[in-house]
């Protein structure tokens, strides 16, 4: 029993020592003010993690004046925005989302609906589309920066008084129905304000 306890204590002390040493090395790396990659490494590996802040390329969290987690999140977000165009939209806008689908003959699937909610949380940002198909309400939640998304098209840029449109779940189906053949409505980048139709329930 004593040997087992001694072994556990010894292993625990080694883990603490390694963790402390890792923290010291990380603080030294941050306080150095220099990029951990040499110039030759940057030329050899042009896809190294970096972010752009005020038109300045930052290769370390200290240069970007942020912590490591935010630095990595912003790097992934900017990399994703360079891959596809992510348009501006709000809850109430009509969208068409094309995503990769290995079970589809074309390799992609498209869903059209009204955005009933949008959650802005960095790399974990999400939005929900709702539509009524064959008399049944269908909702799809998408991750805004998911690599599976191929295209986000704004069919109609519109906003409503509420930030969340969950109340549409309790309204008649016609207020959530969006035609899959809906054509894009030109806009100047400013969402139009939705006007309730006569007789439409609040």
Tens digit of each residue's pLDDT, the chain (202 residues): 443 444 444 444 544 444 454 554 445 444 544 444 444 444 433 446 778 877 788 888 888 888 888 888 888 888 898 889 999 999 999 999 999 999 999 999 999 999 999 999 989 999 999 999 998 999 999 999 999 999 999 999 999 888 999 999 999 999 999 999 999 999 888 888 888 777 675 5
Per-residue confidence (pLDDT) for residue 42, from 0 to 100: 43
Place of tokens 């030759």: 40
User: What's the CATH number for 94-180?
Assistant: 2.30.30.790
What pLDDT does 47 receive?
46
Rounded Cα gap, residues 115 and 165, in angstroms: 8
**Residue ranges, CATH 2.30.30.790, the chain:** 94-180
Give yes or no for a contact between 23 and 15, defined as CB atoms under 8 angstroms apart.
Answer: no
Residue 52 pairs with which residues in a beta bridge?
57
C-beta separation of 159 from 92 below 8 A: yes
User: Is the sign of the CA dihedral 43, 44, 45, 47 positive or negative?
Assistant: positive
pLDDT of residue 137: 94
């Amino acid at each position: 029993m004593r040997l087992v306890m001694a072994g556990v204590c010894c292993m625990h002390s080694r883990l603490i020592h390694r963790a402390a040493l890792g923290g010291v090395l990380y603080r030294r790396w941050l306080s150095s003010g220099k990029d951990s990659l040499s110039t030759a490494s940057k030329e050899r590996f042009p896809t190294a993690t970096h972010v752009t802040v005020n038109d300045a390329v930052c290769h370390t969290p200290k240069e970007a004046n942020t912590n490591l987690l935010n630095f990595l999140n912003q790097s992934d977000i900017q990399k994703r925005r360079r891959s596809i165009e992510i348009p501006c939209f709000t809850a109430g806008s009509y969208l068409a989302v094309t995503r990769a689908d290995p079970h589809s003959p074309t390799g992609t699937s498209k869903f059209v609906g009204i955005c009933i909610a949008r959650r802005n949380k960095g790399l974990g940002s999400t939005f929900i589309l709702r539509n009524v198909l064959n008399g049944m309400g269908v909702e799809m939640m998408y991750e805004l920066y998911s690599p599976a998304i191929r295209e986000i098209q704004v069919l109609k840029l519109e906003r409503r008084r509420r930030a969340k449109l969950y109340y549409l779940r309790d309204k008649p189906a016609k207020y959530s129905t969006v035609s899959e053949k809906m054509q894009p409505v030109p806009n100047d980048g400013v969402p139009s304000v939705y006007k309730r139709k006569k007789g439409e329930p609040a």
